[in-house]
Amino acid sequence: MTEVESRAAGYVWQLLRFAKASPRSESCFLHTLQNAGYVLAITEDSRILIQIDTADKLEITDSRGLVIPPGNADAPRLVVLSNQSIEQTLFPGITDPSGPAGMTVGERWVVLDGLAFASPRFAKKYWSEVTFCRHCAKDLPIRVTENGCLLGIALLYGWEEEEEAQSRLIQIARVFGSSDMLPETAQDIESLAWSDFTHGLLGARPTLDNWSFANHLKSLAAPAAASVLVLGSYRVDSAIEEAAAALRGLGYTPILLRDAPDLPFQTNTEKFLAGVMCSAFVVVVDTEPSGHLSELTHLLDLRLRPVLVLRHKMDPSSWFPEDRIKTDPLFRVAAMPAFSPQSIAGLTAWARTEMEQRVKDLNGINHWRSRASS
């Protein structure tokens, strides 16, 4: 690998490093970096092309015509070629790489994101079938001069080959009009990669209109006041579903953790705590041993919400936490043959009173709260 090719590789590894530190994304720029299969580096005279693609978008063959297998996100396949036409690599449908170009890049910092190009013949013959391409006035869509640099992201190109329409998506392409445009020191290469990375991130994340963390928390207030986390055994649905139906009869929305999605980075305990935080109180259906016994321990330790422990008979499914449950004023235990809105109404009224008193206490302590909420 030559010194220039080594600098080009260093630039790519910096981009990949930044991408690994970012949230997973489906945007073309981040998705390509986070799932890179190939890195193609071409030097032509003093010019440089760096192309990064996922395995499903780029297929590279060796001198014998055999496909070079892609790498993976941790180690994409680096293919270095020299004295190969940069223009014909990017735009295989062109007839004359030295001819006039539809767009000339002669500036140091140019970013093209999400544009579509087509050869004149392609645009003329297939315009009605492939409306995403816009006519390019010249055979060659883009040329980068020796004083120019181009960062291309999600560039669509259409051309005709053997009387058939062809198209390709250029996911990420970095063209340096001369090797002098590519920094030499590791620090400058990192700075260039960071600049390109921030350019690529622009518009990468879909946003909700007028979304803010504060408004999101406010939007949870009303649903949480009417939501109740229901814990218990899922092996026999009848008891936990019976309790959930009783809560619905009183106007509550029961939350069952089995129905909630699992975030990839979330533990079971975190999922349980998220359910607690989005509930007015918690109902534990203690009819047989299950994971709720572990959850009861967390509820006893953290004391975040009033807890109703419902049983069909007075004996608990495990005696071990029973002394703590019955001596904690934030817990109520009740046994009844069947759970119904009528049979649990007194218990839910107690839980509601506990929460309303907590709201008053917190508003009295936290003076910045504008008003109490129930």
pLDDT tens sequence across 132-172: 566 666 788 899 999 999 999 999 888 888 888 888 889 99
Whether residue 34 is predicted with pLDDT greater than 70 in this model: the reply is yes
Whether residue 374 is predicted with pLDDT greater than 50 in this model: the reply is no
Share above pLDDT 70 across residues of the chain, in percent, rounded to a whole number: 89
Rounded mean pLDDT, 30-41 = 90
pLDDT of residue 63: 66
For the chain, how long is the longest CA-to-CA vector? Answer: 89
pLDDT category at 373 given cuts 50, 70, 90 is very low
Whether residue 281 is predicted with pLDDT greater than 50 in this model: the reply is yes
Q: Are strands 77-82 and 110-113 parallel, antiparallel or unpaired?
A: unpaired
pTM of the model: 0.60
pLDDT of residue 350: 93
Amino acid, res. 286:
D
The ranges assigned to domains in the chain are: 3-201, 215-365
CATH match of 215-365 with 3.40.50.12780: no
pLDDT category at 279 given cuts 50, 70, 90 is very high
Sign of the Cα torsion 205, 206, 211, 213 reads negative
Q: Are 291 and 299 in contact (CB under 8 A)?
A: no
